[in-house]
With several copies, the nearest count.
Chain A
Amino acid sequence: MDYSSEVARHFAAPRQAGTLPPGPGTLVRGEGGSVEQGALVVFQARIDAGRVVALAWQAYGCPHVIAACSLAAEKLTGCTPAELGTFEPLCLRGPLEVPALKSGRLLIIQDALRKCLAAWDNGDQRSPLNKRN
């Protein structure tokens, strides 16, 4: 498997990885995929004054998935909550040079982001920060 230098960069120093500390605004959470499927991603978003003021992610997955989380988090910070739902992760294929065979994996990022939006829409403010087993 070959990885682009952009993937390599994100993998070595992922941006906004981890969890968000407690703070002002609303913290929502969404996940996509599963260990059994080979990739599991969790996004957290802090929404304040109609903006996603902070975004963090955790991922179990291949380098493409990890780089995609890193790049998506970077791109989406500052967006509106609605944009979490309309974000098209396939747009990351180009910058990251994700091979066609793997592009399906990016869709789990969409799932996680949409679940963040749904949580926001539901007024769900309990953010389960604890990791899963």
Chain B
Amino acid sequence: MQLPVYFDYAASTPVDPEVVGLMADCLRRPELAANPAALGHAAGRAAQALVEAARAQVAALINAQPDEIIFTSGATEADNLAVIGTAWFRQARGRHLVTSLTEHKAVIESCRHLATQGWRITWLRPDAEGLIAPAAVEAALEPDTVLVSLMHVNNETGVVHDIAAIAAICRRHDVLLHVDAAQSAGRERIDVRAGQIDLLSLSAHKIYGPKGVGALFIDQERVRRVSPLLFGGGQERGLRPGTVATHQVAGMGEAFRLAAQRLPDEARHVTALRDQLWSGLRQLPGILLNGHAERRSGHILNVSITGVEGESLFYSLADLCVASGSACTSLSNEASYVLRALGRPAALAQSSIRFSFGRQSTAAEVDFAVEYVLRAVQHLRSFSPIDVPGA
């Protein structure tokens, strides 16, 4: 087994070899080197054809039309375009948005920015298991609410929100719904039509595609337009300027095509590993599962360990590539705000570990992780002044 073992698929996945092959080909072939906006010549049209094929592949995974897909530099930009772009475009209709405390920073910071510009934001707090009740969404709607932005699968806990119920409420009240599906696309089935989703953010690198490319689905009937955040040469229907990166979107298209094929097998694979990990780790006295026990996506397991400090815990896990709630290991300087919103005290939020699994994960790696974590916690507790019952 190669050390450190990679358990951080929710942060980013290795690019699928087929996708790498296609991207390398695309980068290597001079006849595909043209700017896909250079429709005046054959080389430009060849690049453009690749872009459009990718758009169709991305659309297919979520049952959208190709012209409802706007390529962006990632889900962060897609989230910004959905939230800020919708808010600006519909400001005459109202200046109130509903979101939650456990969204990704891309949504949270977009909303906070809007708040500085005069919008009102209702921040929904999840229950202790990380779920937002659809009734809470309904209760938060006001006559001038223009957008509800809630994620599908939470990137820290893996809980799956009841988007269908929330969407039905939004339709009933004629409010637009934006869903951040960066963690769920390719892992959970998504149908924007059946699911009545108006805007949906996607990222390629969470599902074996390249980093630096994503997309925003914009329902043509219900949304039609949002205000662009960047200005330039009119690419992507004027909503997202800048030369479209042919190899990047082609890679995303291929990754999404593969994801559609592999989804059921892959979901089974990661769910089995997650269950194996949890049944190993739960022997540990004082270990807590973060997030709802059933309503969760298969690729994430998030636990908190009482009586050990986060940074030392994390330091003890050097042979595992995992994410931690510990402040010093991430770009932001706070303990996981997601776990805090679930009501975990700061210390428990910091002593959390997020394991996330993917195609290359194996049962042997999970066995190793169980033993390794048990040993590390035992060491830390051997000199801890805090009494953990059963330890």
Contact = CB atoms under 8 A, between A and B. Distances in A.
A120 interface: no
A35 B386 CA distance: 9
Interface in B340-391: 345-347, 350, 382-387
27 contacts: A1-B315, A1-B328, A1-B329, A3-B315, A11-B312, A11-B315, A17-B383, A18-B382, A35-B386, A36-B347, A40-B386, A41-B385, A57-B383, A58-B383, A59-B385, A60-B307, A60-B308, A60-B385, A61-B312, A62-B311, A62-B312, A62-B328, A63-B315, A66-B383, A131-B387, A132-B386, A133-B386
Nearest to A61: B309
Interface in A9-49: 11, 14, 17-18, 31, 35-36, 38-42
Interface residues of B, number: 18
Interface string A56-78: 01111111001000000000000
Interface of B: 307-309, 311-312, 315, 328-329, 345-347, 350, 382-387
A59 B311 contact: no
* Residue from B307, B329, B384 whose CB has the most chain A CB atoms within 10 Å: B384
Interface of A: 1, 3, 11, 14, 17-18, 31, 35-36, 38-42, 57-63, 66, 130-133
B384 A60 contact: yes
A53 B312 CA distance: 29
A133 B315 CA distance: 24
Contacts of A57: 383
Given A57-B383, A62-B311, 8 more contacts: A14-B383, A18-B383, A58-B385, A59-B384, A60-B308, A61-B309, A62-B315, A63-B311
B40 to A, nearest CB: 8
A21 to B, nearest CB: 16
A38 B350 contact: yes
Given A1-B328, A18-B382, A35-B347, A132 B312 contact: no
